[in-house]
Amino acid sequence: MRNEPPPLPASLQDHYEWLLARAAAPPSRLLDIGAGQGRLLGLARELVRERLVGIDPKHPAGRPDHPIARVIGDGQRLPFADDTFDFVVETETLEWVRDPVALLREAARVCTPRGRVVSDDTDWDTLVFAGGDGTLGRRILRAFCDSGPNGWIGRTTPSLMRRAGLRSIEVNVRVIAEHELKPGTLGYWQIQVIDEWLRAKALATAQELDDWRADLHQATDRGDFLFSANRYVCVGRP
């Protein structure tokens, strides 16, 4: 039996729905570069009229119960002809690729002249977790941002898009915010990612990470918890 991806956090689903509305009109053919488990594609299936494709180097994106084409491949060398899609999107993919300009150039190539290329990436330096120990929190978040693939990719995306030949670039900064720390929220998932990353890289001690998590849960119990992250959504035309 196929393993289903976990449900989208409500805050991220709202963000993806807003992102899909960046198309000038309901798209006929949509490509998701770095589609992962296909969660954005699942939201898009009611919007896209003709063809829905996800490409990812590891995950076949989609399920057999809806018409999503599943392609394993490299976003820097897309296996599609010019002008194939009228909406091309990547979400949190640029930070992981060797040449983000090449990926955006390929996105522009396969996009129709009247279509849209959308890049959606978190600026990891803007992560906020409200807890009682601000010094410890800053240390943990700085270590995570500085050791990641590209913690500042969001704020550089407009420049990358221009270098890739895209034009009429629209820059939106979207703040995803949550006031609860519980399973199924984006903040809860992000804490797991940060914890596992810093333990694996030996960039924080187990005691520091345990103290940080305990501090955030105490903030939740007091009703003081806040998680937020800035997502840079940049829209360009070929």
Residue 66 — pLDDT band, cuts 50, 70, 90?
very low
CA atoms of 14 and 45, how far apart (whole Å): 16
Residue 4 burial class via C-beta count within 10 angstroms: exposed 0-12, middle 13-18, buried 19 and up: exposed
Q: Quick check: 65 pLDDT over 50?
A: no
Query: How does pLDDT run across 142-196, given as a tens digit for each residue?
Result: 999 999 888 899 999 999 999 999 999 999 999 999 999 999 999 999 999 999 9
Distances (CA, A) of 122 to 8, 56, 140, 152: 16, 19, 17, 8
CB 110 within 8 A of CB 88: yes
Domains of the chain, with CATH numbers? 10-237 (3.40.50.150)
CA atoms of 13 and 2, how far apart (whole Å): 22
Give pLDDT, residue 125.
93
Q: In this structure, how many other beta carbons lie within 10 angstroms of the beta carbon of residue 120?
A: 25
Give pLDDT, residue 149.
86
74 backbone dihedrals φ, ψ, rounded to 5°: -105, 125
Query: How does pLDDT run across 13-60, given as a tens digit for each residue?
Result: 999 999 998 887 888 999 999 998 888 998 898 888 889 999 998 865
Q: Quick check: 62 pLDDT over 60?
A: no
CA atoms of 40 and 8, how far apart (whole Å): 9
Give pLDDT, residue 3.
52
Give pLDDT, residue 64.
44
Q: Quick check: 63 pLDDT over 60?
A: no
Crossing angle of the two packed helices 153-163 and 100-110, in degrees rounded to 10: 50
Q: Quick check: 1 pLDDT over 60?
A: no
CB 198 within 8 A of CB 144: yes
Q: Quick check: 119 pLDDT over 50?
A: yes
Averaged pLDDT of the chain: 91
CA atoms of 164 and 174, how far apart (whole Å): 23
